[in-house]
Amino acid sequence: MNLEKVIFGFFIVLALTLNFGFFVGDMDNPAHHNVYELFAVIVVNLIATVLKFGDRTQMGAVLLATSLVADLQLIAAALVWGYAEQIASTGMAPSVMASIVSLSGGALLANITSVVLLIIETVNLRR
C-alpha cells in the first residue's frame, strides 16, 4: 500500500464530505450552516489542491482543475460571508446565505467530479 496515495485519497474524500456537510440544510437558514465548517472545508480543499500539484498526467491536470474550481468557489463563499457579517449593514440576510450555500454547492459539484475521476483512475490502474 502506498502511503502517499492513501493521504491523497483521504484529503480528496474528506474535502467532499466536509463540503457536503456544509451544503446540507435549508439554503437560506444561517443556523444550518456553520462558519467554522466552511473554514474547515476551505483548509482541506487547499491541502487537497497542494497534493495534486505533483501529478503531471492529463488526469492529474483535470484533478487539479477541479480542485482549483472548488477552492475559488469556497473562497468566494467565505468572502461573501465576511462581507455580509462585517461590512454590509443588512447582516446575514436569507438571500446572502442562499448565495453562500450556492457557491458551496458549485464547489461540491467540483469535489464530486474529483472523487469520480479518482475512482476512474484507480479502476484503470487495476487493469
Tell me the per-residue pLDDT of 64-111, one tens digit each, with 9 for 90 and over: 999 999 999 999 999 999 999 999 888 889 999 999 999 999 999 999
pLDDT given for residue 127 in this prediction: 57
Per-residue pLDDT at 43 exceeds 90: yes
Neighbours of 21 (CB within 10 A): 14
C-alpha distance from residue 34 to each of 30, 84, 98 (Å): 7, 14, 13
Per-residue pLDDT at 8 exceeds 80: yes
Q: Where are the domains of the chain?
A: 3-126
Per-residue pLDDT at 121 exceeds 90: no
Helix axes 94-126, 58-86, angle to 10 degrees: 160
